Structure 1
């Protein structure tokens, strides 16, 4: 063997011997020391939720925002070493409930268990002071979702909740997130969750036995979700909700030329802020057991007969088909008409006398529209009702109801009976089998005042609204629009009591029978009162808003719904003026 080879082998042997000696020292001589170090130091992989995107109204006012919050967490390996009595006193949580939270299974032994969110500064101070007695404690800063307008925007924005198993199965994006992450469950929070949620980050740290961070090993910062800018006007939204304080119903306002939704309110409502930390069972039971169903979005899912607001469509059909003229006296109303053994009454028992179209709309003469409905027939009424969008969804949201416009074929198929003239009478004045949603009726009004263009309502700025020209005679639309101004602004109008000296608006009242008049006289409880409608536009000369108001069991459209509309409009204008003065 050459001397060079001998030296090489010798060197290898010495290196190997040194390594072996070091290994023996670590594993045998210093085993206890390194075991202790291993037990006292841990690697933590912490998922960092991305700040959700902010949702703004059309003027840049935040409708939902993120506010700083503090949470207490415990590392899973210390869950059975916690002094429950101490922690219970500091956090004001019963020991049994605390134990249940500590028993929560996480996806990984490295994922801490959250035991309380939204810590007060007093709780934080007390935890820090006793940290040595609470091994594995982590106090984490997080961003909490906050809805500054509360109930007013609840149905519009929706709420967050922990990821459900069904969501994990249906959305691959959620499979990468820990189960305690919150995602959109309803409303816009759900619809736009994929852009609002952002991209979570990750932090790998080394901690000691008390859970205190020793050093940062690696960090991938989260990427904030995209902000969302809506067409909603927060001031109008809030004004509408305040006007509905004592009522069940809905309000929808649309910009007639574009389809932008300016306000969408459903009442009663709920507090989305109570869902942020996980809805308390007691509050959830209150909501689900409430007979008024506050979780229902009445603006898009509430179905009602349109009442006399439908007379706008019957009138338009008569003008477009050429069977009436504005000045032609069609009937001499004496308070009702007789059909066989049935009497179809007018709301004014003494009658309206000789009535033309303008008076019929302003004073809402039922007998005029019975006769017009008879002349038109149900096929032509159906034609114009569906042309204006009734009986089908507006395209505004995935969960809206389509409603119903009945005809001969529908009744034969569903009711297994023939269509009678009495059915046409009822349909012509918006009663009977007709069912509409508030957003549909707001769009009908928008079509009347924008020159006959049927628009698709939308909520997000930058969206494109589909616009369909219905080829309606603009002169006929002006005739109706002029009469609807008279409903509010002339002494004989059914909504004259709601006339405003702050803003001139027009519209049509509607009163929907819930039970027959005879039965109503026998019974007295509130839930058989008529539903009250008012659909309108403002201002009269150059409409910037088309809207609908429905008050469940409110009584008369002219006495209840129209004044609510007035309160909404005036409250909105006065609030804007106040802000302009301040600015």
Structure 2
């Protein structure tokens, strides 16, 4: 029997999504591919869960023509894949926040210094820092601010791969969430048990043994570390919240009955002073002139400041390559570009994760400016935040500016619309019932 069936009214479902924030995210992404997730760090509400490029779902209501479907499915930027929950990416340096928590939990003194000379010799291989000239002496705060690879190479086996794996689980990775949407990916963060299971059918018993040298790539979010944009947003929300193991919420109410808050959950498994070390490092990334994303993180909204962390995820080997600049390679060979952030720094309320697929080198060049523009929209819709716009801005940072991955960096990516100023009016963070 063919034909359509008449609709049967059901209960009204009110989502936490905000259409203005969703549309702003699509606008600033333009033709780029990737994902953006914005969360409220007090209750876990998902205000934005955007995947780009998008498509018109109405095409599928009565059956999409095969030619149209093939065009969508064959396009290299994969519009049919929900990259916010179903696409997995190496998190790159954004994962250093998780590694830092693992190190602190393992007893590492955050004031201990590691000298970065541009590389770290382990066994018969030298692991390079993104800064070939090195960063000099680095505390944990410095290493987060400068995204120093050598610090994390040197320290990572103090926690070990199992310590990093456990911290990753506790901060929001390696899991799916009860948001009413299926097809979420769990991603992967290696452990000794993970490797043994992965290679259980390999006759070479050495393939099931974890070696300390393998931990180095895990510590900087490479290797077999794979995460989703939603998981990155949860990580950032939990760090910003500082108390609760916040759970994301996409459905606010069903039939007029509110769903439980995402903050009605157990406390985080991290000491508050450890979370504060990580948060202060994120503040420096975005607000010290020598931080990796200073120029791209200035909101221009009174005294409201944003804290963040850049990330660049390799998709190819750079061994024996003189420059990591991606200006001369095709789209599929460019690095992924990531940025996570929360604002305001003094009273965290909103967290954001942005992934620009094959956005190039580095997280400050493509992801951070887009995150800034989306975050501005979120803040401008909050009446309390709009009141703060009239306050004097904080003192301007001084000192030299150095963006992470300065090779090929640009102050603004081409095609990112920049907000002229505080013009958005208040609207509730709720979609219409549906």
TM-score interval, normalised by the smaller of the two chains: 0.7 to 0.9
TM-score of the pair, normalised by structure 1: 0.59
1:525 pairs with 330, 333, 348, which one? 330
* Match for residue 569 of structure 1 among 375, 385, 388: 375
1:274-330 deviation per Cα after TM superposition (whole angstroms, max 9, x unaligned): 3344433332222122222211100001111111111101111222232223x222x
Of the candidates 481, 501, 509, which is equivalent to residue 279 of structure 2?
Answer: 481
Gaps of 5+ in 1: 1-106, 108-177, 183-196, 199-223
Q: 1:441 aligns with which of 204, 209, 232?
A: 232
In the alignment, what sits opposite 1:395?
178
Q: For residues 341-420 of structure 1, what are the structure 2 equivalents within 5 Å?
A: 341-396=124-179, 397-415=181-199, 416=202, 417=207, 418-420=209-211
Aligned residues: 365
The answer to whether the aligner puts 1:272 opposite 2:57 as a matched pair is yes
> Match of 2:266, SS?
strand
For 1:297 and 1:520, locate their aligned partners in 2 and report how far apart those are by CA, in whole Å.
33
Give deviations 1:172-201, integer Å, cap 9, x for gaps: xxxxxx63238xxxxxxxxxxxxxx52xxx
The Cα of 1:428 is off from its aligned counterpart by 0.9
Corresponding residue for residue 255 of structure 2: none
Q: Is the CA contact (8 Å cut-off) linking 1:299 and 1:437 kept in structure 2?
A: yes
Tell me the SS of whatever aligns to 2:236: helix
Task: Confirm or deny: 8 A CA contact 2:377 2:424 kept in the other structure.
Answer: no
1:258 aligns with 2:56: no
On the 8 A contact 1:381/1:428 being kept in 2, the answer is: yes
Question: Conserved in 1, the CA contact under 8 Å of 2:106 and 2:158?
Answer: no
Q: Which residue of 2 is the match for residue 512 of structure 1?
A: 313
**Structure with more strand by fraction:** 1
Decide whether the 8 Å contact of 1:512 with 1:531 is kept in 2.
Answer: yes
Query: In the TM superposition, what whole-angstrom CA distance separates every residue of 1:322-352 from its partner, at most 9, and x where no partner exists?
Result: 2223x222x1100011122211010001000
Distance 2:216 2:156 in 1: 6
Counterpart residue number, 2:88? 303
CA deviation vs aligned residue, 1:544-572 (integer Å, no higher than 9, x gap):
21121111111111221111101212345
Residue 425 of structure 2 corresponds to residue 580 of structure 1: yes
**What is the alpha-carbon distance in structure 1 between the residues aligned to residue 90 and residue 70 of structure 2?**
30
> Which secondary structure does the structure 1 equivalent of 2:342 belong to?
strand
Gaps of 5+ in 2: 253-257, 383-421, 428-434
**What is the aligned partner in structure 1 of residue 399 from structure 2?**
none
CA 1:371/1:580 → structure 2, altered by over 3 Å: closer, same or farther? same
2:245 aligned residue: 454
- 2:341 is paired with a residue whose SS is strand
Contact in 2 for aligned 1:244/1:564 (Cα 8 Å): yes
C-alpha distance in structure 1 between counterparts of 2:381 and 2:277, whole Å = 33
Judge conservation of contact 1:452–1:477 (CA < 8 Å) in 2: no
Structure 2 residue aligned with 1:16: none
- Taking structure 1 as reference, are residues 398 and 276 closer, same or farther at Cα in structure 2, changes over 3 Å only? closer
SS at match of 1:550: strand
In structure 1, the residue matched to 2:351 is 546
Structure 1 residue 427, shift from structure 2 partner: 0.7
Q: In structure 1, which of residues 178, 181, 206 is the aligned counterpart of residue 5 of structure 2?
A: 181
Secondary structure at 2:115 match in 1? strand
User: What is the aligned counterpart of 2:112 among 328, 352, 356?
Assistant: 328
Contact 2:171/2:238 (<8 A) preserved: yes
Structure 1 residue 244 corresponds to structure 2 residue 50? no
Partner of 2:259: 463
- 2: CA distance between counterparts of 1:570 and 1:389? 25
* Counterpart residue number, 1:493: 291
In the TM superposition, structure 1's runs of 4+ consecutive aligned residues that sit over 4 Å from their partners are 519-523, 571-577
Match of 1:429 among 220, 226, 236: 220
The equivalent residue for 1:25 is none
After superposition, the C-alpha distances for 1:385-426 in whole angstroms (9 at most, x for unaligned) are 122231221333321001111112222332441222221111
SS at match of 1:252: strand
> 1:353-402 CA deviation, whole Å, 9 max, x = no partner?
01111111011011111112022211211121122231221333321001
The correspondence of residues 121-140 of structure 1 with structure 2, limited to 5 A, is: none
Please give the per-residue CA displacement for 1:436-473, whole angstroms capped at 9, x wherever unaligned. Answer: 11101110111111123222212111222352212421
Q: 1:482 to 1:426 in 2, by over 3 A?
A: same
CA distance in 2: counterparts of 1:469 and 1:250, whole angstroms:
28
The alignment's C-alpha RMSD in Å is: 2.2
Farther off after superposition, 435-444 or 270-279: 270-279
Q: Is contact 2:152–2:220 with CA below 8 Å preserved after alignment?
A: yes
1:33 maps to none
Q: Residue 519 of structure 1: CA displacement?
A: 7.4
What's the TM-score once normalised by structure 2's chain length? 0.79
The residue that corresponds to 2:385 in the other structure is: none
Per-residue CA deviation, residues 468-515 of structure 1 (Å, 9 max, x unaligned), is 212421122122112201101111111112122224211111101100
Contact 2:120/2:154 (8 A) holds in 1: no
Q: Give 2:410's aligned residue.
A: none
1:277-292 aligned within 5 A = 277-292=62-77
Question: Quick one: higher RCO (CA 8 Å, sep 6+), 1 or 2?
Answer: 2
